[in-house]
């Protein structure tokens, strides 16, 4: 046999059709039967054997041929719009037109030609040129996303507009109505765009964040962006709380004052006016005049006349001091820190809010207790929805879509490691060093991958980790118990020594808590290094989880303690005693009237939260100051040790965790101290400037690499966890907790929810029923279950896709080998090593529609059949040919059986 035909099938074309004509060689048949199978095997074997060298790398000449392939020109033109991943998968018509031209081998040589071609193609696209807003928007998007310089885009746009206007002129088919509609919707689109642009341009702290990113890179920038996010979120809540809760309450006070003037208390108002008004202004950020009046004892005495038996402890504290004409006692300087004393009678805490409705106009009633319930509930729900949404988006983008294609982790590290926003030399140097370290770390990882660890070693590693986890958990438990004991002894001591609660005493507990919150995470950071997690990211995650557990323990103990304290009847009487005794001696009558009223535990808890927030703030400020002093002191020293470096480093994760802690405090304290969002808002604002100053002036950027995307997701997830826990705690207290019977909006009810029940009419009861039904444990569990199922489904879909990706990848590799083979072959043909078969033979071997002569068919895979007619020298017996032959010429003998 002189000629030898080797037919390769790329897609499933019936083999008989082709090979039937020349059933000459038996090994031909053999290679067809197990074709697909054999390819895969060969491929895998090969990859394994020849690790780093590519099996199908081209030599120089073939490479040149490769660039002539149509597929190499496709990418140049693709505009990202056509490749949108997700919903929009279809490529637009103009793009297909251009691609069709490319396939025919037509490509523009000069820029003018390119412009002409694109403009023509776009002109032909009906959807793109349609005379409505969609068309307009589409045109804008398409041009924007074209991979061409601005000049070319401008030219194309000009031509399109010119043609469009001439077109419109020639066919005046649009009615007046349509035209109006078009103009209106176009204007609407423009307005929307400009509003969005304005938000973009004047986004909060835009300049500051840019500056920080320039000097520190996006890692530190992400911390500040998180801060801004929380600020905006809290701002919304502040507006809601102030608008629907604080203002009505103040109006009610004002209303009472003006309608029932009390002459006896006029004098103290004037004496107390300036300090009170001024100081309160700082807390709430509102004009002080209303508060001055509202804070006057008039209110309390009004309350007293209306409800003589239910004077709260707060009332008691204010009245005696005013009547002693001792204004400093009304507002002691320490009250700032403790949140007690004068603050107790303000709207800062739960206890001051009224339980009745008032009406400014006739027949319009505003029930404060209901408002209290709904505003707080609404605030939680808003927080929940916003953060949940954010977590879902981040999780989807950064985990589900990404996770399963881990093949390229290394490439990612190279291509996305440089931070293009860096503008400072110092930052650039540090970035270089950090990338260097990371790459070295990666190389080491490869090495350790290659030498598998023994199972004994692995087991030992696991044991160590388990042991450390146990230690951490036990110590957290002990810590919680210690806190509880401390709180209890603090209360007991109060009773014994009868100290005034406005002294330094109450500050001890929050001070300790804050120190714990700041110091223990450092310890965790050290522990985790000993434990031997190999991947730095795991180290970070473990530390994060532990820190969050710590915070939850501390806050859980705090809330739990006060709650139990309130529920437990023994302790209530204790506090009663303590309260009555705390008063200044000569108010026996008042104290007696207080005997039956119990202690307002919500207010006390609110005070605790206030103190935690304030002390935390001061500690942070002091620490920053200390760092500054340290910096100034050591600036002249030439030798800068490790500790120096450590202290002057901006640790992103620690700082972000601190923000989350603050936010958790807010959520936990929201019910007891409804103005926490205001405090946190102010705090965040001040923190922003302090941090900015210290970051820009004397701190060093973190040298460790910071993977913003995935870490951000984890941080948000942690925020969500703490929010959900606070929300559940709130729900529990609302339904099961015992309301203080003498203070706050829910006074006189056993459970909080009862008040709403009593006040509601039939319609509202239905709503309430729904609420309570939603908050039932079973329902909550059900909702969570559904969520879990949804997440599970999403994950399985992603896994399915990952499988598919693997299959397609393999397929692609095979096709690529085909391509390499073809290129080699064409090259050989050109060099004359192959003699093309006679035309008759080709006709017989392949149906005309798939003749390889037409270049455009090369890309249409479904109809592509290649026939290799090789003329062997007569004296040599043709070797049996197999698929593996066409990898490259030198290695063919290696894989043939």
H helix runs in 57-175, sequence order? 60-67, 71-77, 93-103, 111-124, 126-129, 133-144, 150-170
Site of tokens 């026939």: 867
Residues 6+ apart with CB under 8 A from 384: 723, 724, 727
Between residues 159 and 707, which has the closer beta carbon with respect to another protein?
707
Least distance from C-beta 404 to another protein, angstroms?
9
Structure tokens at 551: 């915070």
The Cα–Cα gap between 330 and 319 comes to: 9
Q: C-alpha angle 277/280/286, rounded to 5°?
A: 90
CB 50, min distance to another protein, A: 11
Q: How far is the CB of 434 from another protein (least distance, A)?
A: 10
Tokens of 167: 């077109």
In angstroms, rounded to a whole number, what is the distance separating the alpha carbons of residues 222 and 710? 12
Least distance to another protein, CB of residue 149, Å = 3
**Strand 865-871 relative to strand 357-358: parallel, antiparallel, unpaired?**
unpaired
Nearer to another protein, 33 or 195 (CB): 195
Contact 262, 696 (CB under 8 A): no
The residue (of 72 and 475) whose beta carbon lies closer to another protein is: 72
Nearer to another protein, 425 or 642 (CB): 425
3-state DSSP assignment of residue 455: helix
Identify which of 291, 279, 287 has the alpha carbon closest to the alpha carbon of residue 254: 291
Smallest gap from Cβ 199 to another protein, in A, equals 10
Q: Whose Cβ is closer to another protein: residue 381's or residue 816's?
A: 816
Q: Which is nearer to another protein, 95 or 752 (CB)?
A: 95
Shortest Å, Cβ 97 to another protein? 20
Reference 661, options 709, 608, 617; nearest CA is 617
Q: Report the 3 state secondary structure along 197-223.
A: HHHHHCCCCHHHHHHHHHHHCHHHHHH
Closer residue to another protein, CB minimum distance, 399 or 735: 399
Measure the CA–CA gap between 105 and 92, rounded to whole angstroms. 20
CB 833 → another protein: shortest distance, Å? 22
Q: Taking the complex as a whole, how short is the minimal distance between the CB of residue 419 and another protein, in angstroms?
A: 5
Name beta bridge partners: 871. 3
Helix (H, G, I), strand (E, B) or coil at 331: coil
- Residue identified by tokens 């949804």 is 790
Q: Please give the sequence-ordered ranges of beta strands (E in DSSP) within 242-370, or none if there are none.
A: 357-358, 366-367
CA distance 667 to 722: 8
Q: Is residue 566 a contact partner of residue 604, using CB atoms and an 8 Å limit?
A: no
Residue 830, both tokens: 């050109």
Nearest CB to another protein, comparing residues 436 and 732: 436
| 870 φ, ψ (degrees, to nearest 5) | -105, 135
Nearer to another protein, 92 or 284 (CB): 92
Q: How far is the CB of 895 from another protein (least distance, A)?
A: 17
Which residue in 623, 603, 627 sits closest to 615, CA to CA? 623
Give least dist CB 719 to another protein, A.
Answer: 19
Q: What Å distances lie between residue 523 and 265, 481, 530, 547, 548, CA to CA?
A: 55, 20, 11, 10, 14
Euclidean distance between CA atoms 502 and 147, whole angstroms: 68
Closest C-alpha among 160, 215, 688, 723 to residue 422? 215
- State which residue, 121 or 340, has the beta carbon closest to another protein: 121
Structure tokens at 274: 């300036």
- Nearer of residues 418 and 481 to another protein, judged by Cβ: 418
Work out whether strand 3-9 and strand 357-358 pair parallel, antiparallel, or are unpaired: unpaired
Q: Which lies closer to another protein via its Cβ, residue 43 or residue 546?
A: 43
CB nearer another protein, residue 145 or residue 857: 145
Q: How far is the CB of 407 from another protein (least distance, A)?
A: 6
The least CB distance from residue 733 to another protein, in Å, is 39
Query: Which of 385, 408 has the CB closer to another protein?
Result: 408
Q: 3-state SS string over 90-105?
A: CCCHHHHHHHHHHHCC
State the nearest-atom distance from the C-beta of 422 to another protein, in Å.
6
Locate tokens 């997700």: which residue?
86
> Nearest approach, Cβ of 111 to another protein (angstroms)?
9
């Amino acid at each position: 046999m002189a000629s030898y035909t080797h037919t390769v099938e790329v897609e499933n074309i019936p083999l008989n059709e082709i090979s039937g004509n020349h059933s000459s060689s038996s090994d031909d048949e053999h290679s067809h039967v197990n074709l697909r199978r054999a390819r895969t095997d060969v491929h895998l074997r090969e990859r394994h054997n020849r690790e780093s060298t590519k099996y199908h790398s081209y030599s120089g000449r073939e490479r040149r041929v490769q660039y002539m392939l149509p597929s190499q020109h496709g990418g140049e033109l693709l505009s990202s719009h056509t490749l949108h991943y997700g919903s929009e998968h279809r490529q637009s018509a103009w793009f297909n037109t251009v691609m069709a031209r490319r396939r025919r081998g037509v490509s523009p040589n000069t820029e003018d030609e390119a412009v002409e071609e694109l403009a023509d193609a776009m002109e032909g696209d009906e959807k793109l040129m349609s005379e409505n807003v969609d068309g307009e928007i589409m045109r804008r998007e398409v041009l924007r996303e074209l991979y061409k310089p601005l000049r070319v885009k401008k030219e194309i746009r000009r031509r399109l507009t010119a043609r469009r206007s001439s077109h419109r002129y020639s066919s005046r088919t649009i009615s007046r109505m349509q035209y109006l509609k078009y103009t209106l919707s176009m204007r609407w689109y423009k307005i929307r765009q400009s509003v969005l642009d304005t938000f973009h341009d004047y986004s909060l702290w835009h300049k500051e964040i840019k500056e920080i990113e320039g000097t520190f890179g996006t890692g530190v920038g992400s911390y500040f962006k998180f801060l801004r996010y929380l600020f905006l979120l809290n701002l919304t809540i502040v507006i809601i709380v102030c608008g629907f809760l604080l203002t009505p309450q103040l109006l009610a006070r004002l209303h009472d004052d003006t309608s029932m003037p009390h002459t006896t208390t006029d004098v103290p108002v004037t004496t107390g006016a300036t300090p009170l008004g001024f100081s309160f202004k700082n807390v709430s950020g509102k004009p002080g005049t209303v508060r001055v009046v509202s804070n006057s004892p008039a209110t309390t005495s009004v309350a007293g006349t209306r409800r003589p038996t239910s004077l709260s402890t707060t009332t008691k504290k204010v009245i005696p001091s005013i009547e002693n004409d001792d204004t400093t006692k009304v507002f002691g300087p320490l009250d700032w820190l403790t949140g007690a004393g004068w603050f107790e009678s303000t709207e800062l805490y739960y206890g001051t809010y009224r339980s009745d409705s008032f009406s400014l106009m006739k027949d319009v009633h505003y029930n404060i207790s209901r408002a209290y319930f709904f505003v707080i509930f609404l605030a939680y729900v808003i927080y929940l929805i916003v953060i949940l949404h954010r977590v879902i988006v981040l999780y989807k983008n950064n985990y589900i879509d990404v996770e399963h294609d881990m093949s390229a982790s290394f490439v990612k590290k190279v291509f996305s490691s440089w931070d293009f926003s860096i503008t400072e030399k110092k930052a650039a140097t540090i970035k270089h060093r950090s990338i260097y370290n990371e790459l070295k770390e990666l190389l080491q990882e490869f090495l350790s991958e290659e030498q598998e660890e023994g199972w004994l070693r692995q087991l030992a590693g696991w044991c160590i980790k388990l042991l450390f986890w146990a230690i951490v958990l036990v110590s957290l438990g002990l810590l919680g118990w210690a806190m509880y004991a401390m709180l209890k002894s603090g209360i007991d001591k109060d009773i014994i020594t009868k100290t005034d609660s406005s002294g330094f005493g109450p500050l001890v507990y929050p001070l300790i808590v804050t120190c714990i919150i700041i110091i223990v995470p450092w310890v965790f950071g050290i522990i985790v290094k000993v434990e031997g997690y190999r991947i730095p990211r795991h180290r970070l995650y473990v530390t994060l989880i532990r820190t969050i557990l710590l915070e939850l323990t501390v806050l859980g103990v705090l809330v739990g303690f006060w709650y139990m304290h309130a529920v437990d009847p023994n302790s209530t009487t204790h506090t009663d005693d303590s309260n009555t005794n705390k008063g200044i001696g000569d108010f026996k009558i008042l104290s007696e009237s207080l005997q039956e009223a119990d202690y307002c535990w919500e207010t006390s808890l609110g005070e605790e939260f206030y103190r935690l927030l304030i002390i935390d703030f001061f500690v942070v400020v002091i620490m920053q100051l200390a760092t500054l002093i340290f910096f100034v002191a050591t600036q002249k020293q030439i030798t800068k040790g490790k500790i120096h470096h450590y202290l002057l480093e901006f640790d992103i994760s620690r700082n972000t965790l601190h923000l989350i802690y603050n936010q958790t405090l807010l959520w936990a304290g929201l019910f007891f101290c409804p103005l926490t969002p205001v405090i946190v808002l102010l705090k965040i604002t001040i923190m922003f400037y302090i941090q900015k100053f210290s970051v820009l002036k004397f701190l060093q950027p973190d040298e460790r690499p910071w993977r913003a995307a995935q870490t951000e997701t984890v941080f948000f997830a942690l925020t969500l966890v703490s929010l959900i826990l606070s929300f559940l705690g709130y729900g529990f207290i609302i339904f099961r907790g015992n309301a203080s019977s003498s203070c706050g909006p829910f006074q006189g009810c056993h459970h909080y929810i009862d008040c709403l029940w009593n006040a509601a009419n039939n319609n509202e009861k239905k709503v309430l029923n729904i609420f309570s039904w939603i908050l039932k444990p079973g329902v909550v569990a059900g909702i969570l279950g559904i969520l879990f199922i949804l997440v599970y489904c999403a994950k399985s879909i992603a896994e399915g896709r990952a499988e598919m990706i693997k299959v397609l990848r393999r397929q692609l590799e095979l096709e690529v080998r085909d391509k390499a083979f073809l290129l080699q072959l064409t090259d050989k043909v050109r060099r004359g090593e192959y003699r093309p078969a006679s035309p008759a033979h080709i006709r017989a071997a392949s149906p005309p529609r798939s003749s390889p002569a037409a270049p455009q068919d090369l890309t249409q895979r479904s109809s592509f059949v290649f026939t290799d007619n090789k003329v062997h020298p007569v004296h040599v017996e043709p070797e049996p040919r197999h698929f593996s032959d066409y990898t490259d010429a030198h290695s063919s003998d290696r894989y043939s059986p």
